[in-house]
């Protein structure tokens, strides 16, 4: 019984981190229909923002979390203005963003690889290797902190979207861009801010990733399928669905890794993506598309 509880705790802790990694991706798709394949590479960029101050000056990664969030949000504004804004009204916008973000991912990977090489790195503050013991059960402190902080950030985002005036504008744009514009919503401003928030969340996730996982520039190719499985299972554009999917799949993957084999753990996400696309393409919280 204790083994089952232990695996469940580990799965839930990682689920918090994965939920933050996927939340920004889901927000960007929900508002602007951008399928952002570059999102994991930007998470890794955020991890490097936390890594080097720790490596050079011993700065705690958590201290760098707001810094990484702001820096990546600013990069998000530049990316949107330079790459995505021009074709935002195109009928084939979503399809075009797949190619655009693939190119961005390659550029980010190449830039990070050129500057930092493909050596695996990890920040190692004291709490990253500590654990809290409750009898025979242990809770990795680093994963616990990362999970709690992830849920706190997502909760703050949810409150912002639900109760703020601009949050209402974002939700209106998500539901119907044209109708929101007719009601006076500045959808262009909403697009820029939403993209900045999404990339800012990637930066925050990168900070947490830096002491939970080993990372290197090409790592994003492994993460993109994992994050897409969360977003698709939860329902494209549904942040709540992405969070629930993250916890569900992380727990399942933890049990698969513990009782079948660690090499099969990641396969859980790929298999879930395949099955959900076959059985329920709109995901758990997505709307079923209407036939023309």
**Predicted pLDDT of residue 18:** 94
Tell me the per-residue pLDDT of 8-26, one tens digit each, with 9 for 90 and over.
999 998 999 999 999 999 9
How many domains, the chain? Answer: 1
Is position 105 within any domain?
Answer: yes
Is position 277 within any domain?
Answer: no
Is position 30 within any domain?
Answer: yes
Is position 76 within any domain?
Answer: yes
pLDDT-flagged residues of the chain (< 70): 88-91, 286-292
Domain extent, residue 90, equals 24-219
**Predicted pLDDT of residue 292:** 40
Is position 7 within any domain?
Answer: no
**Predicted pLDDT of residue 287:** 63
**Predicted pLDDT of residue 91:** 66
Q: List, as one string, the DSSP characters of the chain.
A: -HHHHHHHHHHHHHHHHHHHHHHHHHHHHHHH----TTHHHHHHHHHHHHHHHHHHH---GGGGHHHHHHHHHHHHHHHIIIIISTTTT-TTHHHHHHHHHHHHHHHHHHHHHHHH-S--B----GGGG-EEEETTEEEEHHHHHHHHHHHHHHHHHHHHHHHSHHHHHHHHHHH-HHHHHHTT--HHHHHHHHHHHHHHHHHHHHHHHHHHS-B-GGGHHHHHHHHHHHHHHH-TT-HHHHHHHHHHHHHHHHHHHHHT-GGGTTHHHHHHHHHHHHH-TTTTTSPPPPP-
**Predicted pLDDT of residue 210:** 96
Is position 268 within any domain?
Answer: no
pTM of the predicted structure, to 2 decimals: 0.93
Tell me the per-residue pLDDT of 221-269, one tens digit each, with 9 for 90 and over.
889 989 999 998 988 888 889 999 999 999 999 999 998 988 788 888 9
Is position 144 within any domain?
Answer: yes
**Predicted pLDDT of residue 283:** 83
**Predicted pLDDT of residue 288:** 59
Is position 289 within any domain?
Answer: no
């Amino acid at each position: 019984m204790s083994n089952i509880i232990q695996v469940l705790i580990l799965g839930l802790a990682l689920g918090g981190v994965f939920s933050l990694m996927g939340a920004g991706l889901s927000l960007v798709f929900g508002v602007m229909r951008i399928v952002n394949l570059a999102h994991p590479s930007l998470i890794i960029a955020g991890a490097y923002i936390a890594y080097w101050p720790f490596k050079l000056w011993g700065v705690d990664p958590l201290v760098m979390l707001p810094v990484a969030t702001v820096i990546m949000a600013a990069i998000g504004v530049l990316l949107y203005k330079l790459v995505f804004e021009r074709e935002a009204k195109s009928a084939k916008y979503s399809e075009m963003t797949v190619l655009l973000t693939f190119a961005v991912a390659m550029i980010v990977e190449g830039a990070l690889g050129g500057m930092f090489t493909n050596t695996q790195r990890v920040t190692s503050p004291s709490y990253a290797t500590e654990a809290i013991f409750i009898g025979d059960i242990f809770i990795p402190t680093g994963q616990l902190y990362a999970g709690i902080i992830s849920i706190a950030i997502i909760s703050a985002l949810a409150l912002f979207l639900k109760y703020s005036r601009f949050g209402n504008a974002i939700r209106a744009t998500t539901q119907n861009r044209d109708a929101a514009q007719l009601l006076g919503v500045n959808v262009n401003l909403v697009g820029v801010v939403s993209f900045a928030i999404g990339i800012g969340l990637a930066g925050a996730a990168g900070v947490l990733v830096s002491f939970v996982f080993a990372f290197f520039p090409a790592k994003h190719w492994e993460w993109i399928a994992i994050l897409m499985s969360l977003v698709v299972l939860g329902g494209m554009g549904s942040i709540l669905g992405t969070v629930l999917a993250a916890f569900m799949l992380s727990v399942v993957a933890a049990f698969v890794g513990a009782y079948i084999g660690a090499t099969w753990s990641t396969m859980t996400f790929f298999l879930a993506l395949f099955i959900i696309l076959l059985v329920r393409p709109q995901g758990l919280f997505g709307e079923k598309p209407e036939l023309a």
